Amino acid sequence: MPKIRQTLSRQRKHQLIKKELAAYELSINESKKTDNEFSLSISQSAPIVENVHIQDNFNNGFDRVTFSPPHAPSPPITGSLQLEEHFRIDEHNTTFLEGGGFSKAEASLAGELRVWISDQNISKQSVNSLLKILRKHGHSDELPQDYRALLQTPRCTSDKIDTTNGGYYVHFGLAETLKRELKKASDTFPKKIDMYINCDGLSVASSSRSEMWPILVSICFNGKRAGPAAVGIHWGTSKPTSPHKYLEKFISELKTVLNNGLHSNGSVCNVNLKAVVCDTLGRSFVTCTKGHSAYFGCTKCTEKGEWCVNHVVLPNLNAPLRSDESFRMKLQPEHHSDVSPLEALPINMVTQNALDYMHLVCLGVMKRMVEEWMDRTNGVRLNSTSKKLIEQRILQLRSCIPSEFSRKPRPLAYFRIYKATEFRLFLLYTGPVILKGILDDNLYKNFLTLSIAIRILCEPELCIALNDYANSLLHTFVENYIVLYGLKSMTFNIHNLIHIADDVKNMGCLDSFSCFCFENFLKTLKAKIKTAANPLHQVVNRLYEEFSLPPQTAEYKCFPIVHRTNQDQIKKIDFEAFSITAKSPDRCFMSANNDIMLSERVYELNGEIFIDGKMITVNEPLFKEPCISSTFHVYLNQISTAVNFEKLPLTSVKKKCLELPHSTDDFFVSVPLIHH
């Protein structure tokens, strides 16, 4: 033996195990041809790994190989002894091998447990404890002893991971990923799908430089959205050193899919690459262009920045626009750092590299504006009295935020740790109410200009019809922003507001190509990491466990969905995009006639569901500049003028509204819900 077993690398140990597995299987198959009973003697000179145990490393989250002392005698192998038993795996286990699966019925307790464990992200220690209890109480024939056998965890993760590009990379395959997501979303194979690509960094732990860079895809077809899902994941102490190596396998498969489509049971699905949706850093990396702090950093126009107070500003709003031809010909070489790997694809390198409003508007522009009001030493900073009044109004609104919002509003003093959804809530819904009468009139009007423009671009019904108007509002906002906040505030994000309406023209409303869904997926991806050691191995194991789950039929929901109490009373009605109840904050809605309603009772009569409540008869616009708020059904409503109505059918419910309190007790502000 040239090396002591204990000194071998983990990869080499796994290679030896696979080699011996193949040798055992070959010997067993040959002996079965001549006799059902066989015996096998192990030659001392044969390079056999005598006592190998596959055991779980609970600290590192991957399979570890340990070896008994070299002098330990090897166990005898009899005809009834199976290969799994030789490796000390329980006789009831059905281990995961490539192409294999559970021998038990997937619809059994084991199958349902696998789905539940995957959905709830249960830790492996908890799974083993649960299995021990269930086996103790009569399920030993159905369930294995170890979580790896139950979840079909890959025996060896390292052979799926390549060392490349300054880190480690695993590739799951584009076609397989798309088919898997289509099966989850639909029972039928569609004829055409639109695909969105995202590349972004994910910090693994706050105490280390370890980070992942997943390649994510999301698809849209027949009004449905599926994904996101990971096609490949890079892990290292920094982002990949080369975008070409990082995207090499993905680009190769994507070209095949775009040319030939997806094939399934004789059906063909055409794939259309709709957009590449990344934040500024990710977009700069995959397109091989200069970043947001560069003089020629704008991805949409040829504006050259200026140096102002230790950073670059982009004040010119009328610079020539870039085109796909000018991008590929590198007519402005200062904008490029290399040839982008995406140029090998049949896409428009300018219009199909979208500006993401989650990072651009919510985490960019809105955060910068709030910082100007709260912390900056300039002429727009609020005094302590105004800050306290804003905080009081925010706390008053907390109980009025409906169930569609996952986060309640926090005081603006916490703006530095706000999430994008909190800035979106403030910009589109609560900000116009909270800031009215507190912010300076010019600052408030400037804020409303941005709020209205983004509201238009988020509305599927208005984003195209009023696109030019929204574009003019954004230009007005940027022009006034320079005057109000100074030239030093004309950063990359503020400048790019003048281009975002053009992306909406090409790709639809802002929510259809935002990073919100991708960021949510990154959260679930990070939740699969239980320890800091070998995070990629942990993620790969968890994903392959999900891949091995039994196929689940797409869940179709027929809206509206009625929820009842134990006394058979209706407590909630779920529509496709919102829910209505008879209690605040989920009772306000807009009828088909655009009347503001407050539901007080939901009931069923003769098999049909009706709503009783109040209809507001007197309302007025909340603001009149830069446009009348009633154009977008934002009203200041007087409660005392409400009249009772009876038996309003569910078909009359058009939109849900936020019911926000006003400084005057007899009034409230209604703001229609526009995002899902």
State CA 639 to chain mean position distance: 40
Q: Give pLDDT, residue 107.
A: 57
Q: Establish how many alpha carbons lie within 13 A of residue 579's alpha carbon, considering only the half-sphere containing its beta carbon.
A: 19
Structure-model confidence comparison of residues 63 and 445, the more confident one: 445
> Tens digits of per-residue pLDDT, 458-506?
999 999 999 999 999 999 999 999 999 999 999 999 999 999 999 999 9
Handedness of CA 401, 403, 405, 411 (dihedral sign): positive
Q: Give pLDDT, residue 179.
A: 92
Mean pLDDT for the stretch of residues 653-674: 92
> Tens digits of per-residue pLDDT, 52-109?
333 333 333 333 333 333 333 333 333 333 333 333 333 333 333 333 333 333 458 8
CA distance 142 to 105: 9
Q: Give pLDDT, residue 390.
A: 94
* pTM score: 0.81
Residues 6+ apart with CB under 8 A from 187: 553, 554
587 exposure class (CB count in 10 Å sphere: 0-12, 13-18, 19+): buried
Is-cis flag, bond preceding 649, omega within 30? Answer: no
Q: Long-range contacts made by residues 467-472, C-beta under 8 angstroms, separation at least 24?
A: 467/501, 467/504, 467/505, 468/501, 470/501, 470/504, 471/498, 471/501, 471/502
Locate the domains of the chain by residue range.
Answer: 158-355+536-547, 357-513, 561-672
Residues 6+ apart with CB under 8 A from 534: 60, 61, 62
Whether the CB-CB separation of 257 and 174 falls below 8 Å is answered with yes
Residues 6+ apart with CB under 8 A from 8: 16
Residues 6+ apart with CB under 8 A from 244: 341
CA distance 613 to 590: 12
CA distance 553 to 184: 7
Q: Give pLDDT, residue 70.
A: 37
> Tens digits of per-residue pLDDT, 97-112?
333 333 333 458 888 8
Confidence grade of residue 640 (pLDDT, cut at 50, 70, 90) = confident
Share of the chain above pLDDT 90, in %: 64
The residue written with tokens 């509002």 in the block is 473
